[in-house]
Amino acid sequence: MKLSSSVFALLCLICEIVSIALFLRGFFPVPVKSSFSDKSKETDFPAEPQTGSGPNSSKAPVPLFKRVVIVLIDALREDFVFGSDGRRFMPYTRHVVERGSSHSFIAKARPPTVTMPRIKALTTGSVPGFIDVVMNLNSPALLEDNLIWQAKSAGKRIIFYGDDTWVRLFPKHFMEHDGTTSFFVSDYTEVDNNVTRHLDGTLKREDWDILILHYLGLDHIGHISGPHGSLIGPKLMEMDDIIKKIHASLISKESEETLPNLLVLCGDHGMSETGSHGGSSEPEINTPLVLISPTFRRKAGFEEPGILEQVDLTPTLALGLGLPISKNSVGHLIPAVFEELSLREQLRLLQINGHQLSHLLQDSNPTFHKEDGYEQFRVAEKSHGSWMKLYVDGNTSEVLSNMGKKVLKQYLEALKAMSSALSKQLGKYDMYSMIMGMIFILQVLFLLLLAMPEALSREAVVDIPLASSLLSLPFYLLCLFGSALHVLVCTSAGGPCYLCSLPWVLVFTIIVLSSAFTCALVSMVVRRMPTSNKTPTKGSDWTLSELDALLLIGTVGHTLSLASSSFIEEEHQTWYFLLNTLCLAVFQDVCRKYFREQRHRDEEEDEGPLLPTGAEEGPSFSPAVELGMSPGSEKWLALATPLLTLTCCRLLRSLNQTGVQWAHLPDFGHWLNSGDHKAFLSVLAAVSLVLIFLLVQRHCSLVSKIALALGLLGVYSYRAAVGNVLFPWQHSSRAVSKGTVEARFVYVFVLGILFTGVKDLLRSQVMPSAVDSGRLKSRGLWEVYSGVVLLVALLFRAHNLPTLACCLLIQTVMAQFIWKKLHYDAAQTTIMHYWFGQAFFYFQGNSNNIGTVDISVGFVGLESYVEAPAIFLTALSTYAGPLLWACHLLCFLSSQRDRAVMGLGHGSYCFALLRSIPAAFYVVLVTSLRYHLFIWSVFSPKLLYEAMHTLINTAVCLFFTFMDQERSARP
**DSSP structure string for 632-686:** GGHHHHHHHHHHHHHHHHHHHHHHS--SSSSTTS--HHHHHHSGGGHHHHHHHHH
966: number of Cβ within 10 Å: 17
| Mean pLDDT in residue range 563-590 | 87
| Position 606 confidence tier, pLDDT thresholds 50, 70, 90 | very low
Cα 280 from Cα 113, distance rounded (Å): 7
Res 712 pLDDT > 90: yes
Query: Which of 114-118, 399-403, 966-970 is the least confident region?
Result: 966-970
Q: Is the pTM of this model over 0.95?
A: no
Predicted local confidence at residue 621, as pLDDT: 47
Other beta carbons within 10 angstroms of residue 693's beta carbon come to 22
- Report the candidate in 222, 253, 252, 243 with the shortest Cα–Cα distance to residue 113: 222
Q: Evaluate if residue 304 carries a pLDDT over 60.
A: yes
pLDDT-based confidence at residue 28 (cuts at 50, 70, 90): confident
Q: How far is it, in rounded angstroms, from Cα 658 to Cα 854?
A: 13
- The conformation of residue 40, written as its DSSP 8-state character, comes to -
- For residues 581 and 603, the model is more confident at 581
Q: Is the pLDDT confidence value at 42 over 90?
A: no
Q: Is the per-residue pLDDT at 534 higher than 60?
A: no
Residue 841 pLDDT > 50: yes
Max intra-chain CA distance, the chain: 111
Q: What percent of the chain has pLDDT over 90?
A: 36
Instruction: Give the per-residue pLDDT at 257.
Output: 65
Q: Does pLDDT of 535 surpass 70?
A: no
Bridge partners (DSSP) of residue 262 are 68
- Residue 247: its pLDDT value, please? 94
Can you tell me the mean pLDDT for 353-377? 83
Please say if the pLDDT value at position 630 is more than 60.
Answer: no
The pLDDT of residue 337 is above 80: yes
For residue 56, what pLDDT is reported?
55
> For position 520, what pLDDT does the model report?
80
pLDDT > 60? residue 584: yes
Higher pLDDT, 370 or 803: 803
Whether the pLDDT of residue 778 is over 60: the answer is: yes
Least confident of 316-325, 359-368, 396-405, 791-800: 359-368
**How distant is the alpha carbon of residue 814 from its chain centre?**
32
DSSP state of 434: H
CA 157 and chain centroid, separation:
37
pLDDT at position 537? 47
Assess whether pLDDT exceeds 90 at residue 707. Answer: yes
265: confidence class by pLDDT, cuts 50, 70, 90? very high
> What span, in angstroms and rounded, lies between the C-alpha atoms of 509 and 301?
69
C-alpha distance from residue 167 to each of 164, 175, 181, 214, 218 (Å): 5, 11, 10, 11, 20
The number of C-alpha atoms within 13 Å of 131 and in the hemisphere containing its C-beta is 14
Mean pLDDT of all residues in 23-32: 75
d(CA 329, CA 624) in angstroms, rounded, equals: 70
The whole-angstrom separation of Cα 756 and Cα 758 is 6
Pair type for strands 210-215 and 68-73 = parallel
pLDDT at 453 over 90: no
Q: At what angle do helices 473-490 and 504-528 cross, to 10 degrees?
A: 140
